[in-house]
Structure 1
Amino acid sequence: MRRLSLWWLLSRVCLLLPPPCALVLAGVPGSSSHPQPCQILKRIGHAVRVGAVHLQPWTTAPSATSRVPDGNPAGTQRDEPEPGTWRPPAPSPGARWLGSALHGRGPPGSRKPEEGSGTETLWPRDALLFAVDNLNRVGGLLPYNLSLEVVMAIEAGLGDLPLLPFSSPSSPWSSDPFSFLQSVCHTVVVQGVSALLAFPQSQGEMMELDLVSSVLHIPVISIVRCEFPRESQNPLHLQLSLENSLSSDADVTVSILTMNNWYNFSLLLCQEDWNITDFLLLTQSNSKFHLGSVINITSNLSSSEDLLSFLQVQLESIKNSTSTMVMFGCNMESIRRIFEITTQFGVTPPELHWVLGDSQNVEELRTEGLPLGLIAHGKTTQSVFEYYVQDAMELVARAVATATMIQPELALIPSTMNCMDVEATNLTSGQYLSRFLANTTFRGLSGSIRVKGSTIISSENNFFIWNLQHDPMGKPMWTRLGSWQDGKIVMDYGIWPEQAQRHKTHFQHPSKLHLRVVTLIEHPFVFTREVDDEGLCPAGQLCLDPMTNDSSILDSLFSSLHSSNDTVPIQFKKCCYGYCIDLLEKLAEDMNFDFDLYIVGDGKYGAWKNGHWTGLVGDLLSGTAHMAVTSFSINTARSQVIDFTSPFFSTSLGILVRTRDTAAPIGAFMWPLHWTMWLGIFVALHITAIFLTLYEWKSPFGMTPKGRNRSKVFSFSSALNVCYALLFGRTSAIKPPKCWTGRFLMNLWAIFCMFCLSTYTANLAAVMVGEKIYEELSGIHDPKLHHPSQGFRFGTVRESSAEDYVRQSFPEMHEYMRRYNVPATPDGVEYLKNDPEKLDAFIMDKALLDYEVSIDADCKLLTVGKPFAIEGYGIGLPPNSLLTSNVSELISQYKSHGFMDVLHDKWYKVVPCGKRSFAVTELDLGTQTKTVNHILPNPDHKNERDM
């Protein structure tokens, strides 16, 4: 008996185990083809562990961005390396990181840097804890609700750093590489780590890490100040450099000169010993470049008079031979001072182009005293040490997550946990994980993270090209032209400021930008009509309808359009006009830009389909268009991938239906009153007749058979005749009662009949006008939409914001209506007006539906129900566009100054059909009645009638 009880208990436990596993499995991404590996998770303790070695604190030099005009820039001095050891230099002038974000943190008892010493201590231990804490708060980073853990090496006392900072960053804590390997095995590897993070500060430490990764087959990511040269390409050992190499500045500057064909250039140096070797090597390798003069003003910066006279002579000598001046080693104060002096005394040639060759911190850029057209490159933000550490940790986490989706056991269980017994397998977990590390890219805190080659982790941190121009208000501002990506400059707008944009005076406006604008036909925001015989537009804007979004085809079409020999087919040319075209023309006038206009090739607003964005959104993302102007709804999905200006038009979604005229049937005379009213009237009539008969027969003076010799008798039929005659107003031949009680009751009945007759007459006028029948829908929550009966058809425009709203909010409704969706708004309206109808209801932006109702000559269209999904129309721009804020500011001004109201009144013309509504009054006993003088219904109020 006891044995049976034990088996029963075990069976109950087995039945209780699946639900917890199922609950955890619910958090697994849908792309996983594996069930939750419960045994694997139990074996690794539901955590992914990352080891950490070489945790000695770093002592940094003064900030790389603080430069002095008359000396070497801070941080350019390099320590002499020890014999046989290569050590990285201190932060360079183009440093991409500004020390630590965790000021004041460190192990207990640690000595803080002295005030004013210009140095700062970086603590890798704190940065690791900071990274793990942040990443564990990111939902969905690791599958199966796994968490990240960091395992510190014994050098740090498993989390306790030495009390004092190391005097020498390269001082070893192990006597030789094999001792280091043994220490890592005993303190880190035995705990089952997926990868190692290291902070080497010397070439010797890099060699130790190469040994560890090769012998133990564990991926190692080394976070270093500056990239170490390496002879072997070990794919298991990656390094992430915190500094931006000087060669990157040289590459960007040479690319700027090449894009503008500025091959004849001179150099201006604010510091004599500034390192420009990389820049000179790049220009010398290209035969097109010609170096003019090298102007060194180091010794002249102290005196303004000496600087003026020196620059006057030098600039005069190069004005006929040099088109561009590249400046190196100058801080912003020196740059401003140079231009203020040269501008004040007019010694600067107006045709000279100025380029800053050093990377700049955009937050430190100023506009005062600088010439229009000045070109610089730099970053919007500076990264800190902790950001790089967190990005390295996130790289490991993302690679583990991706690898787990394919082979969970190989990705989660480290192959090496005992250095004395390394398994000899064809593919270890470290080698498997390294493949995913090399193919993982993401946007991290320090920049865009990707692995280049096989051993270098690149972090491109918001590296942009800037140009000093006028804003729409005429004030100088730094405008972003493009970015440096994958070794080349990618322009934001596909254009570069024209050669004519130069700085003859401080108040000269730059030449016009030339933008390509995409639109979509949607009345009344955008109309089209044919061009004239000469291919021109007497009114409106000339636009192309090439029915493609291929950028190369559009380039060739617009090039041909603007050339003297126009070969664009006449069928591609249209004249565009409307609400949005007027707005675009106003913006172009106020912001001083020209534009080419074309109609989107696929006729779609834009949605995520088959792995890419379609329509207007797709053209903006691909760079085919620089601006999208039409009835472009702002929604969450689109706002995540492109920029929108502030809304210029507010609207919502609505429902459009069609009314139908019907012939009145034979029983239409009864429509003015409800059937309950008719029943009540006739019941009251017969009851009144009965009481009239009784009162008359019971009265001594009544006309009864027992009365005083009456020749007439008042019977029940006589009472019915009286009641019907009073009800229908035919009282010429009736036999009234004689008793006073009967006569009083007859007068009460007459008063009641008067009210009934007046109500009937008033409602009869509405019936005589003609009955309008339409689908009565209360709004998006109407049961007819959520539970459509057989044959009820409704739809919207494909890939529109209306379809996106229904898909997100009501998936079942969207699945039903997909078969009835139409390509464009005019198609949906046409389907409603067809005979027979192809749609019973059409859901779309109410601004578009209201316009269709207002121009409906047959007055058959009507919007019904409450508006829903409030939204706005905005102008679409590429992501991170600097035009966004300027256009939004102008739109706000247009609203406050009444320009948008003028556009609305111009394109939304009020006609009777636009304000008409149809109604039938429903009247019940106890409801409000209408008197005879209210025969004509109020067209501004809608009444309902229950059929």
Structure 2
Amino acid sequence: PVCRQSPFHFHMDRQSSLETLVDVLVSVLEANDWQETNLVFCHPWDVSGFLSLWAHRSQLFLHTVLDLGYLDEPGATRYLQQHRERFRALSSPVLVLGCDLQRTRLVFRVAEELGPLPQDFHWMLGSPLSAGACGEATRPPLELFIQDTVELVSRAIASAAHVHPDLALLQTTMNCNEKHQAGGESSGLFLSRFLANTSFHGRTGPVRVENTALVRPEQQFRVWSLRRDSRGDPTWVTVGTWRHGKLELEEGAWQSQRQRQSPGEGAVGARARLRVVTLVEHPFVFTREADEDGSCPAGQLCLDPGTNDSAVLDALFEELGAGNGSVPREYRKCCYGYCIDLLEKLAEDMSFDFELYIVGDGKYGAWKNGRWTGLVGDLLSGTAHMAVTSFSINSARSKVIDFTSPFFSTSLGILVRTKDTASPIGAFMWPLHWTMWVGIFVALHMTALFLTLYEWKSPYGMTPHGRNRMKIFSYSSALNLCYAILFGRTVSSKTPKCCTGRFLMNLWAIFCLLVLSSYTANLAAVMVGDKTFEELSGIHDPKLHHPSQGFRFGTVWESSAEEYIKKSFPEMHEYMRRYSVPTTPAGVTMLKTEPPKLNAFIMDKSLLDYEVSIDSDCKLLTVGKPFAIEGYGIGLPQNSPLTSNISEFISRYKSSGFIDLLHDKWYKMVPCGKRVFAVTE
């Protein structure tokens, strides 16, 4: 019998379609303003069909087409030698598609024999590529595709059952070839309509049906560029991503043809320009006034307009680029520091320029009144492409923006101020308990009494009845002697003459020696161990959770420290928010005022350690155990293609020691009072 083909052939295609590959290649070429290209085929494709598809989906002109697909290696070598003159005239990119390693080397060798190619020349390689530069993102395993297909069918049946349960859940045999029944549509065709219109986000990504029959998972591609890293070694760098039918090139990662114009065609060496927002936080970002002519001999020129209005910033930077001096002088600042050095290094290695401004509200960013403020708000609104400062990575911010890998690791800490050490007039009594003092003086007077009695009862004593005694040993004489021995002072005193009195006097002297030794040791311990600062064990200290009246502590508004305390200790945050301050220097100032307006200040430990190191009065110190380990990263808009590239470069900087050099330059800690902080101009 003859089987008729099903009018509804339903299947899933895991492979990238030829149309998709053409769209990816054309998107890359058009994004770089290339108007023509050249093709080299190494795979036995239907070249005429490919060229027809190219002409249908692209307006780019194909200058040269070389087909090596049906030739062996010797034949391909001869073919390339015969057409070598075509390489001499190449001035546009060459697409090398479907070539294995040997064929690719063959093409490169023939091109190399012709001498140096034009500076604007580019090679574009399709699959297969090396392990370090794979074009299509790794496909999920087959099991996940099968699960998505089953889920597609189940979702379609569930949707159909809501509309027409009798047709969707019919228990008899059905197929898509059933003819229309008198009562209406057949169950097979009814279900096929729902299958063709079902889409969802599955385990392999977005799943949809094309042309009523083809299940097509989402295709994702990455675009790499072969560059040289900071050590001069070749490395693959991500320059773009193709997904959802759209190419997203990283800003500054790949210069377009318009930006590579010759001197006669436009600006020389024009590069992508990014707008970077920062926040002043020592030692990561410092500012100072610009010179009289508005320039910065050291550091980077940055604007501080006090606004995040994109239109205002566009106008200011446009005037700044025109060089007409119309930007108000008070807006011009010179920014320098740890993060500015890092930004300059990234701009050099990634070939982009940047324009820098200070965030208008002076805040890191938090969700407030239905919107994000500070650095986060500028990134979300598109005002800035990048945020570079001591920008803490936390979960709330990571949900709305992207962060690079951290370039600096830190934690939260507590800063306190040492107290004035002037002791009260009665401080000399601190080493001994009051009962000890009472006991000593009672013993002194009792000893003096017995010395007097012994002396008067003795026939040899200094009394009127003694033998030839011209002096009299009275009770006052005994007190004078006992006090002199106790305080270790030599004074004019009478000593007892009887043996019993002399023995008792020596016992009193030994007792005083022991008491004075103990007193001296305790006095040194008490004076050194005197509490000269607020003793806080850490964030769990009872003084913070149950503050007494008059104990004040705070942090910086809308910082990661406030976010952490608000989330982890709501009651503590409710108490401390009345004492919080807009900036770190403001909190330090409140600690150092007379009298202090804060007893403790909670903030990033890296910032607090720096403030301690430059405190010339040595009044500040950090106490307690560090908590809430975090890192500083560069902030970018969500799904920014720059994120992976910058993270790669930061990892290289860590490996090469560049990050350590920055730390030594800007952040080397030395004992308090001995640090001379000098900015390297």
TM-score range, shorter-chain basis?
0.7 to 0.9
Return the offset for 1:888: 1.6
SS of equivalent residue, structure 1 residue 912: coil
- 2:37 touches 2:62 (CA, 8 Å); kept in 1? yes
- Pick one of 486, 489, 494 that aligns with 2:247: 489
- Indicate yes or no: 2:112 matched with 1:340: no
- Pick one of 272, 281, 292 that aligns with 1:533: 292
Partners of 1:390 and 1:573 in 2: how far apart?
A: 59
Q: Which amino acid aligns with 1:344?
A: E
Q: In the alignment, which residue of structure 2 is the partner of 1:387?
A: 144
- 1:542 touches 1:574 (CA, 8 Å); kept in 2? yes
Q: Which amino acid aligns with 1:850?
A: D
Equivalent residues in 2 for 1:706-785 (5 A)? 708=466, 719-729=478-488, 732-753=491-512, 774-785=533-544
Kindly tell me the number of residue pairs found equivalent between the two proteins.
629
- Pick one of 387, 402, 413 that aligns with 1:654: 413
- 2:553 touches 2:600 (CA, 8 Å); kept in 1? yes
- Pick one of 572, 587, 600 that aligns with 2:331: 572
- 2:407 touches 2:650 (CA, 8 Å); kept in 1? no
Equivalent residues in 2 for 1:383-532 (5 A)? 383-391=140-148, 445-448=203-206, 459-493=217-251, 496-499=254-257, 516-532=275-291
Return the offset for 1:575: 0.3
Q: Which amino acid aligns with 1:686?
A: V
Partners of 2:369 and 2:153 in 1: how far apart?
A: 29
Q: In the alignment, which residue of structure 1 is the partner of 2:67?
A: 296
Equivalent residues in 2 for 1:862-873 (5 A)? 862-873=621-632
- 1:645 touches 1:876 (CA, 8 Å); kept in 2? no
Q: In the alignment, which residue of structure 1 is the partner of 2:575?
A: 816
Q: Deviations over 1:243-282 (max 9, x none)?
A: 4332222222222222222223344444461442332112
Structure 1 residues 310, 744: closer, same or farther in 2, change over 3 A? farther
SS of equivalent residue, structure 2 residue 226: strand
Q: In the alignment, which residue of structure 2 is the partner of 1:644?
A: 404
Partners of 1:397 and 1:819 in 2: how far apart?
A: 56
- 2:155 touches 2:198 (CA, 8 Å); kept in 1? no
- Indicate yes or no: 2:640 matched with 1:881: no
Partners of 2:325 and 2:212 in 1: how far apart?
A: 51
SS of equivalent residue, structure 2 residue 339: helix
Partners of 1:543 and 1:314 in 2: how far apart?
A: 50
Q: Deviations over 1:698-754 (max 9, x none)?
A: 564575989757787766665444323333456535443333343233234335545
Partners of 1:855 and 1:695 in 2: how far apart?
A: 63
Partners of 1:565 and 1:460 in 2: how far apart?
A: 51
- 1:727 touches 1:750 (CA, 8 Å); kept in 2? yes
- Pick one of 673, 676, 681 that aligns with 1:912: 673
Q: Which amino acid aligns with 2:145?
A: Y
Q: Which amino acid aligns with 2:589?
A: E
Q: Which amino acid aligns with 1:463?
A: F
Partners of 1:439 and 1:715 in 2: how far apart?
A: 114
Q: In the alignment, which residue of structure 2 is the partner of 1:246?
A: 18
- 2:337 touches 2:666 (CA, 8 Å); kept in 1? no
Q: Deviations over 1:110-160 (max 9, x none)?
A: xxxxxxxxxxxxxxxxxxxxxxxxxxxxxxxxxxxxxxxxxxxxxxxxxxx
Q: Which amino acid aligns with 1:489?
A: L
Structure 1 residues 726, 849: closer, same or farther in 2, change over 3 A? same
SS of equivalent residue, structure 1 residue 843: strand
Q: In the alignment, which residue of structure 2 is the partner of 1:280?
A: 55
Partners of 1:619 and 1:455 in 2: how far apart?
A: 45
Q: In the alignment, which residue of structure 1 is the partner of 2:442?
A: 686
- 2:448 touches 2:479 (CA, 8 Å); kept in 1? no
Q: Which amino acid aligns with 2:46?
A: D
Gaps in structure 1 of 5+ consecutive residues = 1-81, 86-201, 207-223, 227-241, 367-376, 404-409, 421-429, 503-509, 916-947
- Indicate yes or no: 2:586 matched with 1:827: yes
Structure 1 residues 588, 553: closer, same or farther in 2, change over 3 A? same
Structure 1 residues 885, 742: closer, same or farther in 2, change over 3 A? farther
Structure 1 residues 628, 891: closer, same or farther in 2, change over 3 A? farther
Q: Deviations over 1:350-409 (max 9, x none)?
A: 5444445x5x3666566xxxxxxxxxx83231222222344567889999xxx9xxxxxx
- 2:288 touches 2:334 (CA, 8 Å); kept in 1? yes
Return the offset for 1:611: 7.3
- Pick one of 207, 213, 225 that aligns with 2:12: 225
Q: In the alignment, which residue of structure 1 is the partner of 2:34?
A: 262
**Range that drifts further, 683-692 or 708-717:** 708-717
Structure 1 residues 727, 453: closer, same or farther in 2, change over 3 A? farther
Q: Which amino acid aligns with 1:848?
A: L
Q: Which amino acid aligns with 1:892?
A: S
Return the offset for 1:536: 0.9
Q: Which amino acid aligns with 1:889?
A: R
SS of equivalent residue, structure 2 residue 109: helix
SS of equivalent residue, structure 2 residue 135: strand
Return the offset for 1:592: 5.9
- 2:464 touches 2:472 (CA, 8 Å); kept in 1? no
Partners of 2:384 and 2:449 in 1: how far apart?
A: 91
Identity of aligned residues (%): 50
- 1:247 touches 1:278 (CA, 8 Å); kept in 2? yes
SS of equivalent residue, structure 1 residue 632: coil
Q: Which amino acid aligns with 2:136?
A: K
Q: Deviations over 1:183-236 (max 9, x none)?
A: xxxxxxxxxxxxxxxxxxx64465xxxxxxxxxxxxxxxxx324xxxxxxxxxx
Return the offset for 1:618: 5.6
SS of equivalent residue, structure 1 residue 882: helix
Q: Deviations over 1:848-884 (max 9, x none)?
A: 2233234445554343334444444455565751231
Return the offset for 1:623: 6.6
Normalised to the residue count of structure 2, the TM-score between the two structures is: 0.76
SS of equivalent residue, structure 2 residue 16: coil
Which one scores higher on RCO, CA 8 angstroms, separation ≥ 6? Answer: 2
Q: In the alignment, which residue of structure 2 is the partner of 1:892?
A: 655
- Pick one of 426, 429, 442 that aligns with 1:673: 429
Q: In the alignment, which residue of structure 2 is the partner of 1:847?
A: 606
- 1:361 touches 1:380 (CA, 8 Å); kept in 2? no
Partners of 2:579 and 2:212 in 1: how far apart?
A: 52
Equivalent residues in 2 for 1:68-79 (5 A)? none
Gaps in structure 2 of 5+ consecutive residues = 172-189, 262-268, 677-681
Return the offset for 1:522: 0.6
Return the offset for 1:683: 1.1
Partners of 1:841 and 1:855 in 2: how far apart?
A: 18
Normalised to the residue count of structure 1, the TM-score between the two structures is: 0.56
Q: Which amino acid aligns with 1:814?
A: H
- 1:520 touches 1:600 (CA, 8 Å); kept in 2? yes
Structure 1 residues 565, 245: closer, same or farther in 2, change over 3 A? farther
- 2:275 touches 2:386 (CA, 8 Å); kept in 1? yes
- Indicate yes or no: 2:300 matched with 1:544: no
- 1:492 touches 1:881 (CA, 8 Å); kept in 2? no
Partners of 1:395 and 1:782 in 2: how far apart?
A: 56
- Indicate yes or no: 2:78 matched with 1:306: yes
Partners of 1:481 and 1:896 in 2: how far apart?
A: 24
Partners of 2:297 and 2:446 in 1: how far apart?
A: 84
Structure 1 residues 867, 259: closer, same or farther in 2, change over 3 A? closer
SS of equivalent residue, structure 1 residue 580: helix
Equivalent residues in 2 for 1:133-148 (5 A)? none
